Amino acid sequence: MAMPETRETKAPALKDDSQLQQKKMIAEHYRRLAHAGETGEKNVYTFVPGNLTELLRSFDLLPVLPEINALQSAMRGKSREYIAIAEKLGHSEDVCTYVKCDLGMMKSGNVGPTGEPLPKPDLLLLSYTGCFTFMKWFEILKQEYDCPVAMLHVPYQADGKITDQMRSYVVKQIREELIPTLSRLSGRAYDEDRLKELLRNSAQAEDDLVFVLESAKHRPSPIDAYFGGVYYIGPIFTAFRGTKDAVEYYRALRSEVEDRIQRGLGPVTPDGELKNERFRIVVEGPPNWTSFHAFWRMFADEGAVVVASSYTKVGGVYDDGFRHDPDHPIETLADYCMGCYTNLALPARVAMLAKYVKDYQADGLLVHSIKSCNSFSAGQLMILREVEERTGKPGGFIESDLVDPRYFSAANIKNRLESYFQMIEQKRTGGLS
C-alpha cells in the first residue's frame, strides 16, 4: 500500500520477506488493473465474503474488491472526503461507510490504493453471503456503470449446517448461470482442470494460514491475530487465493512465524516487538481503519494481544477444517460461500467465539461494534453475554466505525479499554466475583 510513513500509518516495524512479497503482489495486481484498457484484461467487482476468486482466475478475470479499496482509502486518509461526497449526493449517515467511501472514490476518479486508476467493472458478481447491503451497493454501482450483474444466491446457514439441498442449489447456479456468464465475458471455455489446479493451490495456502492463526495458542503468542491478522488474511481473502504467489507468500509467512515460536518472541506491533504479554483477548467485529495504528497501540501499550478474532474469518472459516477441495471443484466453492462467517447465524457465531476463548486460553471476549454495519452489529450484545456465561470470562464492548473518522473517539475507546483490562486484572486477583 502506498502510504506516507507517519506514526499513524506506518506498517508494523517488521519488514519480513512475506510482507515485502505481499506488497509486490498488490502493486502488480493494481498495475494490471490500471492498464486493463490497453491489455484488454477483463475484471470483475466482487465482495470478500463468498468470493469465487479461483473460478474468476480460471477464466483469466481479475477480481476487484470494493471493501478492500474502501478500507485502504481510509488508511490513506481519504475516506473522510469520499464519505462527504457520497453524503452530498444524498446517501444518509446510516448507510454503511464502506459503500459511501467507495462511491466517493468512484466520483473522484476511481483511483485505487496504489494511486493508479481502477478500471470500470466488466461484471459485478454478487455472491450473496449474509449482508443485504451488498445487494444495495451493487444496485448503485450498476446504475453508475451500466454494466452486467451476476448474482449467486447463497442460502443462509440458519440451522448451523449445510444440507445437500442447499449445496445443490448453489452448485446449479454456478454451473448453469455463473460459468456461462464468465465464459461469455472472457471469451474462454470453462476449464475444469485449471480450476482444480487453482483450488489445489488454495488448499495449500489455507493450511499455512491456519498454522499461522493457530500459532496464537502459544504463550507468548508470536502473532496478533487481529491487527497483525488483517495482513495475514490479505492474499487469501482478496484477489490472490489460488495463485502460486499466494502459496509462496503463506509458505514464507509460516516459516517466519515458526521462527518466532522457536525464539519465544511476541507479536510485532507498530512500535516493534511486544515483550510483555499481559492480556490475551478474543475480538469480534472488524477493526477501525481510519485510526488503525492508534487503535492497535491502545492494546499493545497495555500488553494486550488479540489471540483470535472473528474478522479473520469473514472471507472464509478455515480453522474448522474446511479446505477448498480440488476433487469436487464446484461443490467446494458452494461450501466455501455458505461457510463464511458472515453467512453464519448467531448461535454458530457464539459457539465459535466461546471455543476461541477456551482454546486460546483468552482472558475474555471484546466486541468492537461498528456503527454503520447494521448487518453485524445487531446481536452483538447477546453474543457477548452468552460467551461470558459459557466461558466465565469477562466481556468488553467498544464502538466506532470502519472508515468514517467522525466515529472514532480515541479518548473514549482508550478509557473503556483500560477499564476492561483493569476488570480482567481484578478478576484474576480475586477482586471481582
* Least distance from ligand SF4 to the Cβ atom of residue 380, Å: 12
Q: Of 402 and 413, which has the nearer Cβ to ligand SF4?
A: 402
Residue 153 is inside which H or E element, if any? Answer: strand 149-153
* Least distance from ligand SF4 to the Cβ atom of residue 7, Å: 27
Q: Of 49 and 267, which has the nearer Cβ to ligand SF4?
A: 49
- DSSP, collapsed to helix, strand or coil, labels residue 208 as helix
Q: Of 286 and 326, which has the nearer Cβ to ligand SF4?
A: 286
Alpha-carbon distance of 216 to 360, in angstroms, equals: 7
Q: Are 138 and 149 in contact (CB under 8 A)?
A: yes
Of 234, 226, 206, nearest to 22 (Cα)? Answer: 234
* Least distance from ligand SF4 to the Cβ atom of residue 246, Å: 23
301 burial class (0-12, 13-18, 19+ CB within 10 angstroms)?
A: middle
Of 268, 254, 256, 253, nearest to 221 (Cα)? Answer: 268
Q: Of 249 and 336, which has the nearer Cβ to ligand SF4?
A: 336
* Least distance from ligand SF4 to the Cβ atom of residue 402, Å: 6
- DSSP, collapsed to helix, strand or coil, labels residue 221 as coil
Q: Are 422 and 305 in contact (CB under 8 A)?
A: no
Q: Of 98 and 421, which has the nearer Cβ to ligand SF4?
A: 98
E strand map for 255-294: 268-269, 272-273, 279-284
- How many C-beta neighbours within 10 Å does residue 257 have? 26
- How many C-beta neighbours within 10 Å does residue 253 have? 25
What DSSP designation does 344 have?
B
Question: Alpha carbon of 355 to those of 135, 302, 319, 391: distances in Å?
Answer: 32, 24, 12, 9
Residues that bind ligand SF4 (CB under 6 A): 96, 98, 131, 133-134, 373-376, 402
Q: Of 234 and 329, which has the nearer Cβ to ligand SF4?
A: 234
Cell of 416: 473503556
Q: Are 286 and 306 in contact (CB under 8 A)?
A: no
* Least distance from ligand SF4 to the Cβ atom of residue 46, Å: 13
* Least distance from ligand SF4 to the Cβ atom of residue 395, Å: 21
Of 405, 422, 406, 404, nearest to 414 (Cα)? Answer: 422
* Least distance from ligand SF4 to the Cβ atom of residue 275, Å: 34
* Least distance from ligand SF4 to the Cβ atom of residue 367, Å: 14
Q: Of 68 and 274, which has the nearer Cβ to ligand SF4?
A: 68
Q: Of 239 and 257, which has the nearer Cβ to ligand SF4?
A: 239
Q: Are 367 and 285 in contact (CB under 8 A)?
A: yes
Q: Of 2 and 85, which has the nearer Cβ to ligand SF4?
A: 85
* Least distance from ligand SF4 to the Cβ atom of residue 375, Å: 4
Alpha-carbon distance of 1 to 17, in angstroms, equals: 15
3 burial class (0-12, 13-18, 19+ CB within 10 angstroms)?
A: middle
Q: Of 80 and 188, which has the nearer Cβ to ligand SF4?
A: 80
* Least distance from ligand SF4 to the Cβ atom of residue 314, Å: 8
Q: Are strands 272-273 and 268-269 parallel, antiparallel or unpaired?
A: antiparallel
Cis (ω within 30 of 0) for the bond into 220? yes
